[in-house]
Amino acid sequence: MTEPQQLEFQFKTHGGKRAGAGRKPNPGRRKVPHRTRPLVRRWQPHHVTYRLDADKIGPLRSERTIHVVYRSLAMGGDRFQTRLIHFSVQGDHIHLIVETENKRTLTSAMKGVEVRLAKNLNRLRGTRGAVITDRYHARALTTPIEVKHAIAYVLKNHRHHAAQQRRSLPRGWIDPFSNGYIFDGWSTTPWRRYRPRIPPPPLPAGQTYLLLVLWRKRGLIEIDTIPGRRR
């Protein structure tokens, strides 16, 4: 009589982490990942970016639309212990430099701006629904040089995009769809010929030491240099 033998089974595994698994990303610009946002400290200004649906609401840099955008920014410029200090409006996105107390206040304030933008732009265009195409992107500015570069990037963002498109802008030109003409940190005087027809919304004064004092120790900002360009 033969002895019983242990049978061997071969198991096939399913699931788990595999190369190429998961939902494929949508085409076009990469979305802001839905991760837990980092800790926010009150002494750190933040660079915030909104991206809007230009196909739905049209270009933001039109005289008809900019009134609505300015009104939305002014209404949310000093709420939830968050202050909007600098801004620029581009064709399909908005850059902000803000101060805030903590992560909760920043989230509340930025969501409030999103709601006002959606409500006012939808009323203007006769549309409905969201106008922000992605969750806002926020980056903490922790050093004086980071603050200086962020201010330059925001206020001269149109010059940055013009360089990408191989277009040149006049010397001393300030983007009229920003608060550049009321900014006192330029190293030279702007060309007043390009004063904006539509004045920027009133903005609160900065309170953090980084925005008030420290970045200026790195030198004032040149008007004609192109931000974001590697030297």
Q: Residues 46-218: name the CATH superfamily.
A: Transposase IS200-like (3.30.70.1290)
Query: Are 96 and 87 within 8 A, CB to CB?
Result: yes
Give the residue extent of every domain in the chain.
46-218
Sequence-distant contacts of 170-176: CB under 8 A, at least 24 apart: 170/194, 171/223, 171/224, 172/223, 172/224, 173/223, 174/223, 175/88
Integer Cα distance of 201 and 75 in angstroms: 9
Q: Which residues pair with 79 in a beta bridge?
A: 82
One DSSP character per residue, 143-183 reads SHHHHHHHHHHHHTHHHHHHHHTT----TT---TTBSGGG-
Query: Are 210 and 43 within 8 A, CB to CB?
Result: yes
Integer Cα distance of 159 and 167 in angstroms: 9
Residues of the chain with pLDDT under 50: 23, 25-28, 231
Question: What local confidence, expressed as pLDDT, does residue 31 receive?
Answer: 57
Please report, as a single letter, which amino acid is at residue 4: P
Integer Cα distance of 32 and 158 in angstroms: 22
Integer Cα distance of 178 and 138 in angstroms: 19
Please report, as a single letter, which amino acid is at residue 67: H
For residue 136 the two structure tokens come to 């806002």
Integer Cα distance of 126 and 217 in angstroms: 48
Query: Are 52 and 132 within 8 A, CB to CB?
Result: yes
Q: Closest Cα to residue 47, out of 134, 148, 132, 120?
A: 148
